[in-house]
């Protein structure tokens, strides 16, 4: 049974850093495309960072500040977030298992989701 459990969210001031982690079970993280999405109140879920067939992709809004990585030993997907801004405030979700005929940037492409972890950045 596939399960994703996020952790590491919290409240920080602008300019601070957080590291999110997504613990995977029921599969190995290197075997599936995985991604981080986020959703702010009243907004649509948007992609943040993706690892797909060994390549990484970043939304323009986080490029240069966020780093996505896989820890194969711990079977986790991580998101290092630096230089955080108030506009980064959102619920962050881990996703896995992209259907290859759908865009990697679309939330609907992913089969498995975690419950989310809240990130709040104050100015």
Confidence of residue 100 (pLDDT cuts 50, 70, 90): confident
pLDDT tens column, 37-50: 999 999 999 999 99
Confidence of residue 98 (pLDDT cuts 50, 70, 90): confident
pLDDT tens column, 66-80: 999 999 999 999 999
The reported pLDDT for the residue numbered 54 is 85
The reported pLDDT for the residue numbered 50 is 97
Confidence of residue 97 (pLDDT cuts 50, 70, 90): confident
Confidence of residue 99 (pLDDT cuts 50, 70, 90): confident
Q: Which of 68, 43, 40 is nearest to 54 (CA)?
A: 68
How many CA atoms are closer than 13 Å to the CA of 65, on its beta-carbon side?
A: 16
**DSSP state, 10?**
E
Q: Which of 117, 59, 122 is nearest to 86 (CA)?
A: 122
Lowest mean pLDDT among 35-44, 61-70, 84-93, 99-108: 99-108
């Amino acid at each position: 049974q596939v399960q994703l459990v996020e952790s590491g969210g919290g409240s920080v001031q602008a300019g601070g850093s957080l590291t999110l982690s997504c613990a995977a079970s029921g599969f190995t993280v290197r075997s599936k495309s995985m991604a981080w999405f986020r959703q702010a109140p009243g907004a649509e879920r948007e992609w943040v960072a993706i690892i797909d067939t060994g390549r990484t992709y970043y939304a323009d809004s986080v490029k240069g500040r966020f780093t996505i990585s896989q820890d194969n030993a711990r079977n986790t997907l991580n998101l290092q977030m630096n230089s955080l801004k108030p506009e980064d405030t959102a619920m962050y979700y881990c996703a896995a298992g992209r259907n290859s005929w759908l865009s990697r940037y679309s939330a609907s492409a992913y089969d498995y989701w975690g419950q989310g972890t809240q990130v709040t950045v104050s100015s």
